[in-house]
Each structure stands twice: as structure tokens, then as C-alpha cells.
Structure 1
């Protein structure tokens, strides 16, 4: 009788073990298989939130089939205590394992709110935007000039949130003084700037920053990037470029940057200045004269006077020979590359053509005709 009972007990134990093994295997498959999320979603994880609360949130939104399996899987992979605060973009069909990985690996938030501090040639702008998970594009929520406007609630309410992302966007052609002023207006950054960086040495680009980063650290990153871009471009310069060193390339690139905003014109504009340098002609470019007046501290806001064109300054290229002593702005990569590899042309003049671009000329007669056409366009616009 006891043997019979023992045999039955052993059989039940074996069956139970197989059942448990089956349940475990089923749970593993559930944890690793494609999830029920039909459309990608933005999951916000608050600071101090638990894996249980996150699993409940995911289950409520139909992103996972079982909060229990989700938590057990996180525990089994030793990630239940590694939850990171932030906003995480969960792709459609993500498995529970995928989601656990997303919410525990850390780094910058991948969705939610982004604050962009834009430093432009003529203005500063702080922009608050949210990611639309359907289109995967950011939608503007608010924008304001931090030097002129009071910060709106849409900004102050998200500025200190743990999942808000911050970005400094620097336009091509801004001066180092303008960049420093823009960083001062970015109130998520810390620290003072002891000295304005050298003109031309800050790479225009978009830089992701964190709350508490110092302004000096951001400037150092910009300088390191510009040094790399310049060195790379100088290493592939054309043989006939009339530049003695990479610093002269940076100077010429800054002039090209200020003369045209059209990508397709940069190498043509650069060719004009290269041709003039090769022929011993003065560059005669207005942006350098303007820099001599403003010293890069803001914009002139008016046309140049004849007296200013005749005034002797180190930056007046109507008077001095060759290049000015320093860059006149911070050029982007494309202008640097144009300066060291200009188009091969015979152009030595150019003037605005009324379309946002320029008319180029090989002779003074051609140039005078282009100037006459431009003045006609200006007169028509002023009369409207």
C-alpha cells in the first residue's frame, strides 16, 4: 500500500515538474515574443517609480499582455532595480524583453519634450516641442525670445523635468560673441564664460546638453569639433588654393559663409575670392567691413556708409591687401570645404541677383551690368 502511495506521489511530482517547466517555458516565450502594441507609444517613467507601476501602466495601455510576466522577466534578468526615469519611445510590437531593455539602459530620453535653444545670426529663440509618436516628428508647443519675452508656462513646467531633453542649435555665420550670449540665455546651463573664444573656432551645429552642464564645457565641445572639421578639410585642399595655412582657410570660409546662404553657391563664391587672391586684387567684401564696425557684437542693422567703406580698419578689405587678420564669424563645414576646394572659374565679381543668390562676372563690364540690374530690382522693391 505504501509503495502504491509513494508511486502515485512520485508520479504527481513528475507531472507537477513538467507542468512547472511548461509554465516557465510559456512565460519565457511570452516575455520574448512580439507584443500586442499596435502603434508606437511614448512611455514616461517618473523618478522613483517602481517596475510594478510601470508594468501596470503598460498593461493598461495594451503594450504588454501580462504585468506579472513583465515583472518576473525583469527580475530574472536582474533589471528590476535598474529602472531609469525618462520618456522612452516604445515601438509597435515590442516584446516585454525589448521594453525592459529600453526602460533600464538609461541615456537621453527618446521621446517626450525637447527644449531647443536656437542661436541665430539675427535673433535668439527658445523652442519647446513634443514628439508626435505617429509621425515621429516634433510639434512646436511654444517659442519665445529669452532676452525679450517672459518664459511661458509651457517652458517653465517642463524645464526641470527629468525626461526633458535640451539642445543648443547654432546657426552658420554667428559670431563667438553671439554664441556666448546665447549660452548665457540657456538657463539650464551653469557657470560663467571667462573669455570669448576666438572667432571662427566654434562649429555651428546642434549639441545635446544636460541640465547642469557648464557653458565652458559646451564651448569646448564646439571648439574641438571645429578643429577636427578644419584639419580634415585642410588635409584634402586643392593644390592651387592661395592659402598659407589652415587658419587662413578658416578666415576665408567665414567670409564665404557671410556672403551666401545658398549651398550651391559656396564654391563659386570661394572661387571669386581665390581668383582675387591669386591676382593680387583686394577682396572688397562688405561683411568684413561690417565686422570691423560691430566687432562681431550683434548685427549692423543698416547699410554701409561711404565713410565706413573708406575708413582704415584691419577688416576693411576695400583698403587692405589679402585676408583680414581673423575670421569674421563661425563658418560651417560646407563653407570650410568650399574655401579649400573652390570651383574652377574665371569669376572675379559677384552681386545679388534678387532671388537670394548672386550674379557672377568675369569682367568689370559684365559686373557693372549685373549691378545695374540689381539696382533696378532694389528700386522696384522700394517703390512698392
Structure 2
């Protein structure tokens, strides 16, 4: 038998082909990738659906025109989420069709990324209340809206008496023009319904007349239960061809939409004729002197049946009503006693009809 020569080598039983070694390495690498990917997926799933970093409620504005990455950055900087990449990955994998909308949103403590996406894609932005009191002029309404920094734009002043004082829901960035349009549409609905359901025989020719008288009623009393009584007095006076003699019409004739005279009414003011001064003109003025509320409009459309022709302040914040001039003069005397020491030359009562001529 031949013997191996010195220095010769026999192949080892444990030696492996190079291709097998490379394949084994690749397999091991892929296994590690799969295991790592599994761990990464589990981590990402927990991060995406687990509690977020917020410890208390927080409002965040998502700017108009912001892309998805910009939104993610904004949320991370605000502390709503703790990782923008996980947020984007979760969005693409789980909710690729979500409609992410700009606006101001309120996020809750511990809210998950998945829930944050639901909040933004719902479009349920934070709403705020804007209340416009009854009896403001349109110029005063616009001035009030300009003071609200949540609203945008510089609107034109609407026609007097075309807005409905009410509480409106707005969102940050809403245009003032859009809110005024909403107020005008609301007023048109109220006036249309009131006109359709008005009492028969009213001395009012048009819905505009209804609003004009309602604006005077609104300025005459701040007490809700008195509006129907005041409306009845003015309706009775119109039916009898008596001058309305309403002090707020004097003020509007002098200052217009500014609304406030800034001083007491004088005897000269009362006797100076303007287009709106109902001490000087017959019937209604040419248009509203304010924006009346719904209750004043309805009070004029369906006033109670009374014989009252006069009213004057009673010293309690309300008014004393009377059918006759004699009774009215007694009420005036009582008010004068209460008013004693006040300004000289004032009319019988602030914002109330004086005795008929």
C-alpha cells in the first residue's frame, strides 16, 4: 500500500465548501435582521399605540398648508408625541388615507399617536364662543370683532340692523367677514319668520319697519320682560299718529353708528331735528338705530294688547307705564324726585317717551 508522502495533506472531514460558509453567514444575517425587525416592529407598535408624553391637556395649532412632516415636527415640538419618525411610519402603515386637516386641536394627557391621528383627521377643531350683545350698532359690532385676535381679516361695516346679536361658535383663524355673514343670515331667518307670524293690523308696512321699531325697543329697555310692554306703547302711539319721542333716536341722529353720545341729552338735542329724532319727525325713522335681538323683534311682531301710551323710568332699573297723560305725569314726578340733584335740562327719563304734545 502506498504511504502518503511527507508533507502531503489529506482533506479534513470538517472542512466546508466556501459557498456553504457564505450562505450560512447570509442566513445568519437575515435571521438577525428578521429578529431585529421583529423587535423594532414590536417597539414601534408600542410607541405608536402606547401612552404619549403629554401630562396635561394642550391646544396645538396645525398651520394651514403644513405637510405631514411639518405636522409631525409641530406635534413633537409641542410635546404631544415623542418621535416624529414613529408617528409618520405609523401613519403610513396603519392610516394611509387619513385626511390630516389644519386647525387648532385639543390633545389629552397621555394621548397615543394613533389617537392623535384620529383627532386631527376628524377635523374636530377647538371652537370658541363669541357673544354679541343686543342693541349694538353695526359699527360697534365690527369694532368688537376686531378686538378678538382669534378672528382674521378687516371687514366692511354691514348695514345697520342687519345682524342678529347672539352667541356664535367660531374657530381660530375664522374670517370676521364670514362671521358677519353668518350673523346676517341668522337675522334674515328670524325677521322672515317674525314677519310671517306677525299680529294682524300692525302699523308696519315692511319687515324693515319691523326691524326699525325693534331696534328702538331694544335701546329703550335692558329688561327682557319689558320689551313687549315697550313695543306695545310704540305700536299704540303709531296707531294714534303720535310721535314716538324716543331718546335713543336722538342719540343716533347725532352720532350715527358710533352709538354713544358721551354726554347727557340736552334740551337743544331734543328740539334739533334730524332724520332720526322721533321728537321731531312723525312715525318711524328711516332705518334701524341698532341691531335688535330676537326677543325685541318678536315683541314688536306680536305685542300685547294694552292701552299704554307712556312710560318713564321708575328708579329700579325698569319703567312705569301709563295710559293717560295725567298718570304719566305722576310717574314723571316720582322719577323727578328720585332723580333730584341730577343734571339740569334732562328729559323726563333717560330713553323713555315724554308726554304727548
2:227 corresponds in structure 1 to 266
1:340 corresponds in structure 2 to 301
User: Using a 3 Å threshold, how does the CA distance of structure 1 residues 33 and 181 change in structure 2: closer, same or farther?
Assistant: closer
2:153 corresponds in structure 1 to 189
**Any conservation in 2 of the 1:83–1:104 contact (CA below 8 Å)?**
yes
User: Using a 3 Å threshold, how does the CA distance of structure 1 residues 283 and 34 change in structure 2: closer, same or farther?
Assistant: farther
Determine the C-alpha separation between the residues in 1 that align with 2:161 and 2:227: 17
Determine the C-alpha separation between the residues in 1 that align with 2:46 and 2:199: 60
> TM-score when scaled to structure 2?
0.65
More strand by share: 1
Across the aligned residues of Structure 1 and Structure 2, the Cα RMSD in angstroms comes to: 4.4
Post-superposition CA distance 1:312-367 (Å, at most 9, x none): 33323223332122111221222212211223333222112223222222332332
Determine the C-alpha separation between the residues in 2 that align with 1:176 and 1:51: 39
- Residue from 210, 227, 248 that aligns with 2:188: 227
Q: Does 1:204 align with 2:165?
A: yes
Determine the C-alpha separation between the residues in 2 that align with 1:239 and 1:87: 50
Structure 2: state its 5+ residue gaps.
Answer: 1-33, 344-357
- Residue from 359, 365, 372 that aligns with 2:320: 359
**Larger CA deviation: 280-289 vs 202-211:** 202-211
SS at match of 1:360: strand
SS at match of 1:345: coil
Determine the C-alpha separation between the residues in 1 that align with 2:341 and 2:87: 70
Determine the C-alpha separation between the residues in 2 that align with 1:324 and 1:29: 71
Structure 1: state its 5+ residue gaps.
Answer: 1-15, 112-136, 139-166
1:368 corresponds in structure 2 to 329
Determine the C-alpha separation between the residues in 1 that align with 2:181 and 2:62: 32
1:220 CA displacement: 4.2
- Residue from 173, 178, 198 that aligns with 2:135: 173
- Higher-Rg structure is 2
1:78 corresponds in structure 2 to 96
1:252 CA displacement: 0.5
Post-superposition CA distance 1:66-90 (Å, at most 9, x none): 9998655532411578363x44223
Determine the C-alpha separation between the residues in 2 that align with 1:243 and 1:276: 12
2:119 corresponds in structure 1 to 102
1:107 CA displacement: 6.5
**Any conservation in 2 of the 1:314–1:325 contact (CA below 8 Å)?**
yes
**Any conservation in 2 of the 1:51–1:71 contact (CA below 8 Å)?**
no
Determine the C-alpha separation between the residues in 2 that align with 1:105 and 1:186: 26
Determine the C-alpha separation between the residues in 2 that align with 1:360 and 1:207: 38
- Residue from 320, 323, 327 that aligns with 2:281: 320
1:170 CA displacement: 3.8
User: Using a 3 Å threshold, how does the CA distance of structure 1 residues 53 and 261 change in structure 2: closer, same or farther?
Assistant: same
SS at match of 1:350: strand
- Residue from 272, 285, 305 that aligns with 2:266: 305
1:106 CA displacement: 4.0
Higher RCO (CA-CA < 8 Å; seq separation 6+)? 2
Within 5 A, what are the aligned runs for 1:26-175?
40-43=57-60, 45=62, 50=70, 53=73, 73-76=90-93, 77-78=95-96, 82=100, 84=102, 86-91=103-108, 97-106=114-123, 108=125, 110=126, 170-175=132-137
Post-superposition CA distance 1:99-155 (Å, at most 9, x none): 3121234475x17xxxxxxxxxxxxxxxxxxxxxxxxx99xxxxxxxxxxxxxxxxx
